[in-house]
Amino acid sequence: MGKNQLAQLSSTLLQGGVAYKHVRRFIAELRDHSVDLEQEAVRNGSDTSAARDEAMTRLGDPELLVQEMLERPELKSYGRRFPFLLVLMPVLSYILFGLILVLFVVGLVLIFHSGALEEGEIIRPSDFLIEAISVIRIDFLYLLPIILIYFLMSYAIKNHIALKYYGFGLLLLCLLSSSVYLNLIWPDPANAIRGSIDVSINLSRWDFDPGFFMRFAACVLFAVGLKQFITQRMQREFE
């Protein structure tokens, strides 16, 4: 089967809602099967051109192959079956991962300073703990939205999900992640200050907070750039 035919086939299947992983494998299998059929025909005495034609005939009409794939609902992607999930999924994933990171921080504090906590003693955390929590804070504020955008956008574009669903979901994610603040107050024994973790969504600060606008703009720009990149890569993949 020729490159153009395979590219056309993959495009029709993805538009029909077949999951990307099945389309990708199906195309690879057809390509491979076609090579096997050509080799068999050559072994049986056909010349290269006749062998190619015979392989195409035996493999089947592309329309029939498309029909066979589309008739199986189990091969459809979840995103195409339940596109509304992509509106909520980015924000829910962000909240979930955020909670996991906060629990991780609490776990680290308990591991390193459980004794002091039990006795109600205020001690300065170890340098390692301060470093680890600072890295987690940066991951949560800046890296987590980027990772989520990458995975959700890759999934949505590869599975031909309509932009209105995942676009709205990503917009909500950008709004939420840009307005989240995570402030850490380290314990200070000298001034009897207990440490605290303050996670807040500062919606009231949107009007005058340049940090929010910077983060929001970076988030949206990253998503737009990524969309271009993934779309181009997809086109090359099935060519």
Partner 1 sequence: MAKTNPPFMSGVPELLILRLLGRQEMYGYELVRAVRVISNDAFDLAEGVVYPVLHGLEKKKFLKAKRKSIAGRNRVYYTVTVKGKKRMSELSGEWERVKGGIDSALGEQHG
User: Under the rule (CB under 8 A), what is the footprint of partner 1?
Assistant: 22, 25-26, 28-30, 32-33, 36-37, 58-61, 64-65, 68-69, 71-72, 74-75
> Cβ 231 to partner 1, closest distance in Å?
25
Q: Which is nearer to partner 1, 75 or 89 (CB)?
A: 75
> Cβ 5 to partner 1, closest distance in Å?
11
Q: Which is nearer to partner 1, 47 or 74 (CB)?
A: 74
Burial per residue of 34-49, b for 16 or more beta-carbon CB atoms within 10 angstroms, e otherwise: beebbeebbeeebeee
State the CB neighbour count (10 A cutoff) for residue 52. 18
| Start-to-end Cα distance in the chain | 12
Q: Which is nearer to partner 1, 55 or 161 (CB)?
A: 55
> Cβ 121 to partner 1, closest distance in Å?
55
Q: Which is nearer to partner 1, 64 or 193 (CB)?
A: 64
In the chain, count H helices and then E strands: 10, 2
> Cβ 66 to partner 1, closest distance in Å?
10
> Cβ 18 to partner 1, closest distance in Å?
9
Q: Which is nearer to partner 1, 64 or 224 (CB)?
A: 64
Integer Cα distance of 79 and 26 in angstroms: 19
Token pair 């804070």 is found at: 137
HEC sequence for 182-201: EEEECCEHHHCECCEEEEEE
Backbone angles phi, psi at 140, to 5 degrees: -65, -45
> Cβ 156 to partner 1, closest distance in Å?
21
Integer Cα distance of 195 and 197 in angstroms: 7
Longest CA pairwise span in the chain (Å): 92
> Cβ 48 to partner 1, closest distance in Å?
19
For 57-134, where are the E strands, in sequence order? none
**Amino acid letter for position 76:** K
Q: Which is nearer to partner 1, 63 or 121 (CB)?
A: 63
Q: Which is nearer to partner 1, 59 or 218 (CB)?
A: 59
State the CB neighbour count (10 A cutoff) for residue 155. 19
